[in-house]
Structure 1
């Protein structure tokens, strides 16, 4: 008999089960935490002294006290105490303390990185795959130092932002 769902480990109801409301309420609490997940902090090892019902944290690598044995899980405080939820690959959360997205990738929590193929703003692609390197300006019969300096800054900015690869010289 299966006791929990495969991905989020939500409790299952069973025929003839006594006090089904407890199992059902646990599943609702898990959904409340995981459907629009907002974390107070990422990587905390010590439970907060005075959590408020509904607050959540991503537990760090070396948890202590009430969080002992719950490394890398999502910890949610409820009126009935701590609830812990395992992380799923690709899970996307929001960190209030960092004001950044947090994603579970390759078994680790990644803060602030947004992965994608391209960036679309107002219906237009503004960033796509990195382009080949642009060679630095050299040679020529007339040297315009100001134009060359300006172009060098533009090329360096494109390289710094990852829009073109490094030097092709």
Structure 2
């Protein structure tokens, strides 16, 4: 690690006997302001005509930096920021969370290998208390995991009720009735 930068976020460090320490501290605070709980306006738009101090974007085509660069508007210029691996960024115009990985950006949902203990799950729909699992789609396919993939090759769909007197039904309906 260089003696003048922090190891992860490359924040400038104060040097012993340094003059004008406020410049170094302000630079570090500006980087922290951009990188901690990062929220960018867009990752697909070009530079806006009237940016606001502190606006943050992931550069797309049309910027003066390579696509994928994290840029912040500090009057009067856009400044590229080094985005560390693992940085999570909320993209406002998409309403999605993106992750810095291998020098690029990947949607966080694509990186989740396991999701556990959900109380509700909506697929292209909003699940509620009456329907904690809700999928809105035109077709669905359930396929068995092959033995070469760690499965048995079998596929079993099980419906289980809590007691013999409880109802178990499979309902087919049209137009909600």
TM-score interval for Structure 1 and Structure 2 normalised by the shorter chain: 0.5 to 0.7
The 3-state SS of whatever aligns with 2:3 is: coil
The 3-state SS of whatever aligns with 2:49 is: coil
Structure 1 unmatched ranges of 5 or more: 127-155
- Whether 2:34 is the aligned partner of 1:38: answer no
Q: Deviations over 1:82-120 (max 9, x none)?
A: 332112111111000110001112222113525142232
Q: What is the distance in 2 between the residues matched to 1:73 and 1:8?
A: 15
Q: What is the distance in 2 between the residues matched to 1:70 and 1:13?
A: 31
* 1:43–1:72 contact (8 Å) kept in structure 2: no
> In structure 2, what is the equivalent of residue 97 of structure 1?
93
Q: What is the distance in 1 between the residues matched to 2:67 and 2:8?
A: 18
> In structure 2, what is the equivalent of residue 49 of structure 1?
49
What are the within-5 Å matches in structure 2 for residues 2-151 of structure 1?
A: 2-44=3-45, 46-60=46-60, 64=63, 68-69=64-65, 71-79=67-75, 81-111=77-107, 113=109, 115-122=112-119
Q: Structure 1 residues 21 and 119 mapped into 2: Cα distance closer, same or farther (>3 Å)?
A: same
Structure 2 unmatched ranges of 5 or more: 122-138, 147-152, 156-177
Answer 1 or 2: which has greater helix percent.
1
Q: Which has the higher contact order (CA 8 A, sep 6+)?
A: 1
The 3-state SS of whatever aligns with 1:121 is: coil
TM-score (norm 2): 0.60
Count of residues in Structure 1 that have an aligned counterpart in Structure 2: 130
TM-score (norm 1): 0.63
Q: Structure 1 residues 11 and 102 mapped into 2: Cα distance closer, same or farther (>3 Å)?
A: same
The answer to which of 47-56 and 96-105 deviates more is: 47-56
